[in-house]
A and B are shown apart, each in its own frame.
Chain A
Amino acid sequence: AQSVTQLDSHVSVSEGTPVLLRCNYSSSYSPSLFWYVQHPNKGLQLLLKYTSAATLVKGINGFEAEFKKSETSFHLTKPSAHMSDAAEYFCVVIPNYGGSQGNLIFGKGTKLSVKP
């Protein structure tokens, strides 16, 4: 079965300090992995995606993530947090096989708080 685990339900950082949001996945097939962001009372926006090309993926707003197969991880990082980064972040996996129908499997989310 495919699944994704976000190791922290809440992360709090100070503005200007690095951000690390952790995600581990489980997949019998070579997966595609994504990070989505949800700002308060808003829909979901794709931050970045890994689809078996380069293992270090750069996304919008200065975020990046590295796919590490040996660790089954896809952690999200940003060198310097901004107040506007405060939001809920979802790690998502989609198993790449014919029957997957393209359905996203979401982690439970990590709430990022940024202190001034």
Chain B
Amino acid sequence: DTAVSQTPKYLVTQMGNDKSIKCEQNLGHDTMYWYKQDSKKFLKIMFSYNNKELIINETVPNRFSPKSPDKAHLNLHINSLELGDSAVYFCASSRSGTGGLYNEQFFGPGTRLTVL
């Protein structure tokens, strides 16, 4: 069974459209994340979310919004897509740490978004 899954794997769309990427984890984790990997392979956190709070990276445009219907899912919704949104988006999950202590994050396979 896949631990962290994302759909779709590839997404090609026009500028201005609204799209969603789904993420599901079956690990029983209570914290989930979204990362963006740009064309130069640089990975950056976009959001972290558990059932208590959403932490947003301040550099993320408000066109991006995470939506969590339950603990096992954290979907990424993007409004008014722009060319610069083209990237690979990774979902991850972990158990909650305490005092900032690290719990291993498990990553999904990624969704390659291409905006034309």
Interface members, chain A 23-50 (any B CB < 8 Å): 32, 38, 41-46, 49
Tell me if A74 counts as interface (CB < 8 A to partner B): no
B99 in contact (CB, < 8 A): yes
Known: A102-B94, A106-B42. A44 touches B107 (CB 8 A): yes
Is B31 part of the contact surface with A, judged by Cβ < 8 Å? yes
Given contacts A43-B108, A49-B104, A95-B100, contact A102 B31 (CB under 8 A): yes
Using CB atoms, name the residue of chain B closest to A36.
B107
Interface size band for B: 20 to 34
Known: A108-B40, A108-B41. A43 touches B100 (CB 8 A): no
**Whole-angstrom CA separation of A98 from B102 in the bound complex:** 11
Question: In the complex, are the beta carbons of A96 and B107 less than 8 A apart?
Answer: no
Q: C-beta contact mask, B83-103 vs A, less than 8 Å → 1, else 0?
A: 000000010101011011111
- Closest chain-B Cβ to A10's Cβ sits at a distance in Å of 11
Question: Measured between alpha carbons, how far is A104 from B94 in the docked complex, in Å?
Answer: 12
Q: Is the interface of B mostly helix, strand, loop or mixed?
A: loop
- Chain B residues, CB < 8 A from A44: 43, 90, 92, 107
- Knowing A51-B102, A108-B40, A108-B42 are in contact, say whether A102-B107 is a contact too (CB < 8 A): no
Tell me the minimal C-beta distance from A8 to chain B in angstroms: 13
- Return the CB mask of B37-67 against A: 1 if under 8 Å, else 0: 0001111110010000001000000000000
New A-B pairs, 19, CB < 8 Å, besides A96-B99, A108-B41:
A42-B109, A43-B4, A43-B90, A43-B107, A44-B90, A44-B107, A45-B107, A90-B43, A94-B100, A95-B100, A96-B101, A99-B100, A101-B55, A103-B33, A103-B45, A104-B105, A106-B42, A109-B41, A109-B42
A-B contact pairs, 11 of them (CB 8 A): A44-B90, A46-B105, A49-B104, A101-B48, A102-B100, A102-B102, A103-B45, A104-B105, A106-B44, A108-B41, A109-B42
